[in-house]
Amino acid sequence: TKIAVFASGTGSNFDRIVTEMQGGRLSVDVCLLVCDKPGAAVIEKADQYGIPSFVFDAKQYDKKESFEREIYEQLQKLEVEWVILAGYMRLIGYTLLQAYPERIINIHPSLLPAFPGKDAIGQAFDSGVKVTGVTVHYVDEGMDTGKIIDQEALRILETDDRASLQRRVQEVEHRLFPATIQKLISE
């Protein structure tokens, strides 16, 4: 199953998806990285794996539709079937939503609908909740609002600080995301 991963930052989820694929535990072909942040660390990771990337700067375009059309051209050319958002810090617009109905998924580091948007881990930590977690969901036009596919909960410990909580949430992400993708594509 051909997939494209969209990411804006470090790319630890991207990395895990690729290594699970290489280890034969995830039956996908990661054909393309799409990145909206020139210079992001994830681009170098894709280069090291020999995975092509489409990197763009939204400021160079008049509107979302313009860069999404270019992205869509790339996806079509490569016959991409699923779009996987792994830390892509931008809302998906009509062009891609329409082209990939129920074929765009996202990972979010909280138990949605709690703590949508940026810094979900910090939001959870500051709020004093005792349980948080990770959500994988379909993408719609909203911010972290699409139909939930799977979730895993994680207890916030007395001894946690933001950094340790972040580490533990990311460990859950790295396990849950590839497993959920594998389930979806084999349905």
Is 16 annotated as ligand-binding?
Answer: no
For ligand GRF, which stretch binds (CB under 6 A), given 8-16, 19-27, 97-105, 152-160?
A: 8-16
Task: Specify burial of residue 145 (Cβ count, 10 A radius: 0-12, 13-18, 19+).
Answer: middle
Q: Which of 83, 86, 176, 181 binds ligand GRF (CB under 6 A)?
A: 86
Which residue minimizes CB distance to ligand GRF? 87
Binding status of residue 20 toward ligand GRF by CB under 6 A: no
CA 100 from centroid of its chain's CA atoms: 15
Nearer to ligand GRF, 13 or 180 (CB): 13
CA atoms of 14 and 18, how far apart (whole Å): 6
Q: Using CB under 6 A, which residues numbered 114 to 173 contact ligand GRF?
A: 173
Binding status of residue 34 toward ligand GRF by CB under 6 A: no
Closest distance to ligand GRF from the beta carbon of 111 (Å): 12
Binding status of residue 18 toward ligand GRF by CB under 6 A: no
Binding status of residue 11 toward ligand GRF by CB under 6 A: yes
Nearest Cα neighbor of 37 from 46, 28, 29 is 46
Binding status of residue 3 toward ligand GRF by CB under 6 A: no
Closest distance to ligand GRF from the beta carbon of 62 (Å): 27
Nearer to ligand GRF, 68 or 173 (CB): 173
Binding status of residue 84 toward ligand GRF by CB under 6 A: no
Are 104 and 85 spatial neighbours (Cβ–Cβ below 8 Å)?
yes
137 is catalytic: no
Nearest Cα neighbor of 11 from 34, 156, 1 is 34
Burial letters 125-138, b for 16+ CB under 10 A, else e: beeeeeebbbbbbb
Nearest Cα neighbor of 41 from 17, 8, 84 is 8
Q: Which of 3, 80, 87, 105 binds ligand GRF (CB under 6 A)?
A: 87
Percent helix, percent strand, percent coil in the chain, to nearest 5: 40, 20, 40
| Positions marked catalytic | 108
